[in-house]
Structure 1
Amino acid sequence: MSKVPLKAAGAPPALAALILIDVITDYAFPGGARLRRAAPPALARIVALRRRLQAAEVPVIYANDNRGRWRSDVRELASRSVAAGAPAIAGLLPGRSDYVVLKPKQSGFYATPLAELLHHLGVRTVVLAGLAGDGCVLCTAIDAHLRGYRVIVPRDCVASISPARNRRALQILAESFGIDTRAGARITRRTLQATGGARAD
């Protein structure tokens, strides 16, 4: 996890968090070239979603694959992504107020401190966006649902190596788990307040 200070003692709970899954990547894995071609529209919408939710005081958490590099950190991952010319990476790099969790497997919860961080922040609703919709986003969303979180996966803020695979993953989330897959533009402060997920003014 990054060294960004946690929520100050006595501060009101965040209630919602935006979790960005594997948006920092060099695409150097099987299927990566196809995912790289499919990702830019979703990544552009993620940048806009992040900006809007940060303005609503929603914390941003990066859950990023360590790609088997156990001595790695987010700075190294970002450097590799920038060097590889990853699309839209400039607008997706973590800021000083963001949190970073490195994960060894598909789910952001598996063998990471993500659950403890969400508990510390008082989060009840998680908005998940990133790559790939039918892999790490799917696994993290199901894991969050099983842990009792209100889960939103904006359908236009995730990408997979093919549109068909992305649609199938979103369909599973919506139909089998009742997960909200509204478009990213429809996720606002008011939306999160209505679902118990944002701090009131």
Structure 2
Amino acid sequence: MSRSPALLILDVFNTFDFPGGDELATHTKAIVPAIVALRDRFHAHGAPVIYVNDNFSRWQDGFDELVDFVRGSGGAGREVADALAPAPTDLKLVKPRHSALFETALPSLLSFLDVRRLVVTGIATDSCILATVLDAHVRGYESVVPVDTTAAQTEERVERTLTHLRDTCAMKTPRSTSIALP
């Protein structure tokens, strides 16, 4: 087992152009500083940082084109994209559905990196975070979701989802500053 977990940053590149998007954007902007600080800690320890993002049905776009599309949308999407832009050493994947492990190269990448522990951050807690953590649990990965690094349209949705994951998967939800790195 790898000494370091991998940091997954899910779906932070988003136009927020849908019903409830304004609420999600507001909550997402609030978690950006904690994700940036955690990502910087992973970088400092040489631990893998992996961005996985919905493709918004833009099947011909790669990850960088997707980020450019979100930046071009302006508003909260651009603000979040600018703050969380991947470093050149970060790994980047697009996904077609909710789980970052479903029909993506992520399982192969994690195997190559010899990673079995995941720190999962991003949006939305009650959708893509939930699907990814449940899928990871089924596949035998240990997952942690720092409570201050995930957002949904409401705080109630975040708490309800994290409570469910703690109860059903014995998953931990500490603050991001408590994540131990070798």
**Fold shared, TM-score > 0.5 on shorter chain:** yes
- Alpha-carbon distance, 1:15 to partner: 4.0
Instruction: Map 1:140-179 to 2 at 5 A.
Output: 140-179=132-171
Q: What one-letter code is carried by the residue in structure 1 that aligns with 2:94? A: L
Q: For 1:41, which of 6, 27, 30 is the aligned residue?
A: 30
- Alpha-carbon distance, 1:188 to partner: 2.8
Instruction: Map 1:13-28 to 2 at 5 A.
Output: 13=2, 15-28=4-17
Structure 1 residue matching 2:6: 3-state secondary structure:
strand
1:66 aligns to 2:47 (yes or no): no
Sequence identity percentage: 36
- Alpha-carbon distance, 1:76 to partner: 1.8
- Tell me if structure 1 keeps the 8 A contact 2:52–2:95: yes
Q: For 1:116, which of 108, 111, 130 is the aligned residue?
A: 108
Residues matched between the structures, number: 179
Bigger share in helix: 2
Q: What one-letter code is carried by the residue in structure 1 that aligns with 2:111? A: H
- In the alignment, what sits opposite 1:193? none
Q: What one-letter code is carried by the residue in structure 2 that aligns with 1:58? A: A
CA RMSD of aligned residues (A): 1.5
Structure 2 residue matching 1:63: 3-state secondary structure:
strand
- Alpha-carbon distance, 1:91 to partner: 2.5
Q: For 1:133, which of 125, 139, 148 is the aligned residue?
A: 125
Structure 2 residue matching 1:68: 3-state secondary structure:
coil
Q: Quick one: structure 1 residues 131 and 166, their matched pair in 2 at CA, closer, same or farther if it must change by over 3 Å?
A: same
Q: For 2:98, which of 102, 106, 121 is the aligned residue?
A: 106
TM-score using structure 1 length:
0.84
Q: What one-letter code is carried by the residue in structure 1 that aligns with 2:173? A: T
1:183 aligns to 2:175 (yes or no): yes
- Tell me if structure 1 keeps the 8 A contact 2:13–2:80: no
Q: What one-letter code is carried by the residue in structure 2 that aligns with 1:108? A: A
TM-score using structure 2 length:
0.93
